[in-house]
């Protein structure tokens, strides 16, 4: 039997090491946590998407008393970005979160499976890797693409 190995590449950066445009995206993702509506989990997540038309679209998790009706920050951002600018390609996304104590999480959080699948759709439309920045308190994990977060993804059917 053959073995296959799938590896992913993660850059780990300090905030100060980021380019000015990446720092801005991270700041906007952090700021977007303020617009989270999370009265049930009290876990506030923000996302900021850089588009190739120069616009940045942000989103935050929106919860609902009927739990499954809510949505994560990443999906609120990517659905809005594509609804508002259907022609624009995604370049990068930054994701930040505050824990139930209101402080930014120490360890970076990564998008849930459903958000990875949703983001992958826009990466496919972009035709290139959409950089993903996962923001922790000290460190920021940078992945080259959404696909690297979703190996063996379902991408097409005939
Ligand atoms: N959540 C996000 O918005 N993004 C993630 O990457 C993980 C989880 C939200 C969903 C829910 O509102 C809260 O965080 C707790 O799971």
User: Tens digits of per-residue pLDDT, 53-111?
Assistant: 999 999 999 999 999 999 999 999 999 999 999 999 999 999 999 999 999 999 999 99
The pLDDT tens digits for 115-129 are 999 999 999 999 999
With the most atoms of ligand 1 within 8 angstroms of its CB, the residue from 112, 134, 146 to mutate is: 112
Among protein residues, the one with the nearest Cα to ligand 1's atom 13 is 43
Among protein residues, the one with the nearest Cα to ligand 1's atom 1 is 72
| pTM for this model (two decimals) | 0.97
Q: 73-84 and 113-126 helices cross at what angle (nearest 10)? A: 30
Looking up tokens 């699948």 gives 117
Residue 28 pLDDT exceeds 90: yes
CA 81 – ligand 1 centroid, Å:
18
Catalytic residue check, 74: yes
CA 73 – ligand 1 centroid, Å:
7
């Amino acid at each position: 039997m053959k073995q296959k190995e799938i590896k992913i590449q993660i850059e780990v950066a300090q905030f100060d090491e980021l380019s000015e445009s990446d720092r801005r995206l991270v700041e906007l993702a952090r700021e977007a946590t303020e617009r989270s509506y999370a009265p049930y989990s009290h876990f506030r997540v923000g996302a900021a998407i850089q588009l190739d038309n120069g616009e940045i679209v942000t989103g935050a998790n929106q919860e609902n008393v009927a739990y499954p009706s809510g949505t994560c920050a990443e999906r609120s951002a990517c659905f809005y970005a594509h609804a508002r600018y259907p022609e624009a390609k995604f370049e990068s996304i930054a994701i930040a979160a505050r824990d139930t104590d209101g402080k930014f999480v120490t360890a970076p959080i990564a998008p849930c499976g459903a958000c990875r699948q949703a983001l992958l759709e826009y990466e496919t439309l972009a035709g290139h890797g959409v950089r993903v920045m996962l923001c922790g308190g000290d460190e920021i994990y940078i992945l080259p693409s959404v696909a690297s977060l979703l190996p063996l993804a379902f991408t097409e059917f005939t």
